[in-house]
């Protein structure tokens, strides 16, 4: 038997309290069994994974979850894996998994990997845009401080990188393994093979390096901008002092006496 699991990034956050879609099988993440080999896993960071559902059934699930979504995405991103049921040993290939049965534990492990993968894709896309904005900043640093950069633009860049870091560490927890592995350590190898297949660690490390580079570039330019402003203010003060001295000298020695 063949079926597909699809993880879709729907929004920034999903409030899981009050969601009832079927037979609840776990609380963190929230998962439900809808029927034979039909599952839904809801992650608080805005990703929903479905297994064994057709397109219309998936859309029905998303409609039921709409009241619980915060800041829905205009463009949804998805990651999927083909699942073959049957065989004696769990195997992972190119975007494909072969397992004996679609158990709750297998669902949670695969959903965890797909959810992390789709969120990494989303952050990679966002950071690529931010990275393209910081390239001109780096060029200006190389050529000297002749062309000014807006401090508000730099602050937005820093804010975007900090927000991505906060979400990756605080919400998605890319480095953390799912809790189900504590209860079922026999699935560790299966999880590790999936993690390698979707290059979770490598993509996360590359993204973190890019985040640090963007943040360092923006902070450096912002620091130079502040120093430039401070230097300008100091020159204004010096000019005022010189003007005051000249005015005083004029009044003392050159101003006609009536």
Reported as a single tens digit per residue, the pLDDT across 203-245 is: 888 887 777 776 676 666 666 555 555 555 656 676 777 666 6
- Please check whether residue 2 is in contact with residue 37, taking contact to mean a CB–CB distance below 8 angstroms: no
Rounded Cα–Cα distance for residues 220 and 202 (Å): 27
Rounded Cα–Cα distance for residues 137 and 170 (Å): 29
Q: In this structure, what token pair is assigned to residue 57?
A: 């059934």
Buried b / exposed e across 80-100, counting CB within 10 Å, b at 16+?
A: bbebebeeeebebeeeebbbe
Higher-confidence residue of 246 and 89: namely 89
Residue 146 banded pLDDT, cuts 50, 70, 90: very low
Higher-confidence residue of 130 and 119: namely 119
Name, of 52-56, 98-102, 232-236, the range with top average pLDDT.
52-56
How far does CA 178 lie from the centroid of its chain? Answer: 18
Q: In this structure, what token pair is assigned to residue 62?
A: 């998303």
């Amino acid at each position: 038997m063949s079926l597909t699991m699809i993880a879709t990034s729907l929004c920034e956050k999903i409030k899981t309290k009050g969601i009832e879609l079927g037979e609840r099988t776990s609380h963190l993440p929230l998962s439900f069994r809808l029927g034979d080999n039909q599952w839904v896993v809801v992650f608080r960071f805005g990703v929903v994974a479905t297994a064994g559902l057709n397109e219309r059934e998936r859309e029905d699930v998303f409609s039921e979850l709409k009241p619980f979504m915060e800041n829905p995405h205009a463009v949804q991103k998805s990651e999927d894996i083909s699942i073959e049921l049957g065989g004696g040993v769990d195997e992972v290939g190119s975007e494909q998994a072969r397992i004996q049965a679609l158990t709750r534990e297998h669902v949670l492990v695969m959903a965890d990997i797909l959810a992390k993968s789709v969120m990494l894709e989303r952050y990679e896309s966002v950071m690529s845009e931010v990275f393209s904005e910081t390239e001109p900043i780096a060029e200006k640093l190389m050529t000297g401080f002749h062309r000014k950069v807006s401090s508000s633009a730099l602050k937005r860049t820093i804010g975007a990188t900090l927000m991505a870091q906060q979400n990756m560490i605080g919400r998605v927890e890319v480095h953390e393994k799912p809790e189900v592995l504590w209860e079922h350590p026999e699935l560790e190898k299966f999880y590790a093979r999936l993690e390698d297949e979707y290059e979770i660690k490598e993509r996360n490390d590359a993204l973190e390096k890019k985040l640090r580079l963007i943040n360092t570039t923006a902070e450096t330019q912002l620091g130079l901008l502040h120093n430039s402003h401070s230097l300008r203010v100091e020159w204004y003060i010096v000019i005022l002092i010189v003007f005051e001295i000249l005015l005083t000298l004029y009044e003392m020695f050159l101003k006609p006496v009536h």
